[in-house]
Structure 1
């Protein structure tokens, strides 16, 4: 897959540091998706995280034993980066020689949970000299703690994270019961997932870049919460309809450097800047509501990613992403009462904005809309289920569908009880679902074919042209969104 983010591929002016340790063996070059994650990391830490709340006395030694087991089994957890001949490679340690996964210990209160997660997401990884994963054990009381796991996005995705959490919880339960851990069988280094979006629908084995398929994993995940599972391979959805066709836009080194410089000037992440451009481009084509906004002088006004407010705002404090989401829902459902549902989402968004928290509620809504057929079968009840589900995600998930079914759980493992799990995503990754879709060759058809409505090919061509034109205008220092036609 010509991954959408490879459009920002460039040669950096600075050489990557060379690791003084020759022990790790080069495994393979970075794939396009992985390289893209590394590029975005140059502008802002491109991390994802998760936390699980555990009732019971989790000791540092026990956690270290469990993490070592995971590290022996999963090669990405013992890998660093190497640069040779202007190419980036994964270099993997042998299990016995790998540095241990760092564990930080601290005490705090539950009210600080999201602040801690935010701090962990903002801390960068030096992938050349250290592992790209870290763990923090935060004690709320003697027998109640939260385990935070953070890693650089290029070594795994959200599904990897969710399954790693399941492994950690199960292994902690085994140790707490006085049983010995089974001998971990080291897995081979994972291959490149060039066709990443397509592979997400080829079965669970294609999903996991970090963690291998275990027959019981998805069953465990689906049982942990009362929400629907993140992915459903409905029989009425042919594979061809679920596989996006991607068109790549390539910016040269100078253009990419200008985009990064502009993002830093505006105090936004590169990803946030590009999402803002994306929303500016796509909104006029999707919005047909009475609240459609004049976009002739749209500007990027995103000076506050540090407190994780929504990554796109426009004059008068209207949220472009929110408006576009509601417009798409209206189109997909033909229902006029969507604004009532949208009010709930807006209230949740405003609530999230009031604190320094990574718990934004916008992207799950967008993701649910875009994966419409994966979540809901055909039929008259599908629309009502969708409306309830979208509101539920807005209230209970933490920026990502990946962790939706780990939320509000209660499960027993050994002498421990797990009462909650959350997925966290860095502000530089917010908007993955929408930005991943904007370069689909048939983007608008993908959106609206679910309701048998399709934009014309001319509209799709206009969308692509507007994205390229607008991004280049921003790269050249203009803060006015381009509105020209091809």
Structure 2
């Protein structure tokens, strides 16, 4: 299979890269979807959404693909989708059902795989309040994309562009679209691994890979970190991702940013520390895995975006999955406060980025990614024991989703991630529309709803109590 050259539009026909193949295999075991949501105040027609979705497909080659493979599931590759229209589903609800969109994500979007055999690897759901044309009409748009072709940044960007196209058509009516709204076909890019730098910090990639792994083993031996222990074993084929939602409002967010600045850490480090302390506190409860040692650490996985490190760099508006999850060992023993833990998380993640640990992990997948689902048991078991996604914090930072598009007011843009076999608890974070959205997903049964809610609430309260009087 071949891919059209960079700089030209066209179809993607090539084998899945090791990273893409791993995501595809995980998705077949248990759905691995990424969902973006935005709230739209104003009238939106089904016809307009279908039109905008069709234009989005025209712009992005990866939205025109399916996955083909041999009868035994080996040698998977991208090929043109049999169906090139993004399905649009409408869910109508009453004015009082304000959380219907959350239930749709929890009950449908996280649980239902995309049809990779036919394509496209995306679908759109419109949760519509009241009737079309009503002055009080509201819509929650949910764009679900396979992790094979998208990460959180990609999915939010695709939804932003879809809303922009739809608003442009609504404003234009039967007239021509303005220049910014005209669909702009993007080039078909090679696989992420093929764009990795050949030499990193002056050493060959293979040498760098070995050095990074040795450094990580030494750090692991020193930290002896703890991992989230499941309440009960859940067979990988029966794993089900569920959603718990939290947010920080504008005053809380401003206080957090100011305090992080004073403490000399990033917001991500503070969030990772709060999550690690919540996991440690939960482990100390009766019936859990037992108290942590005073010097204990908790493993928190941090997906690192490597778009800008590729050669040539890939822009945020290009579809694809461009993150690699590295483990951070966050101090979380008895008596450890939020800010010492945050400084530990900050130092550990900074070191890993400096030695390009995330790029080493991407390179390593060519040795670890199984050839098919039927040959994946060993890799899945390895991830179960040592994978960095056991407890994960995926924070894409500030995402500038516009407040308006044409006549529509926009708010609440955020994303949610499925887990599949990569771990047990994942927190996804983005800052948009003046709020920090902190969504938690967990594997049902392995982490009970009560336990997941307890950890999520502890993390939020620990963070806010360390920030100051804005907390609950």
TM-score by length of 2: 0.49
Answer 1 or 2: which has greater helix percent.
1
TM-score by length of 1: 0.48
Answer 1 or 2: which has greater strand percent.
2
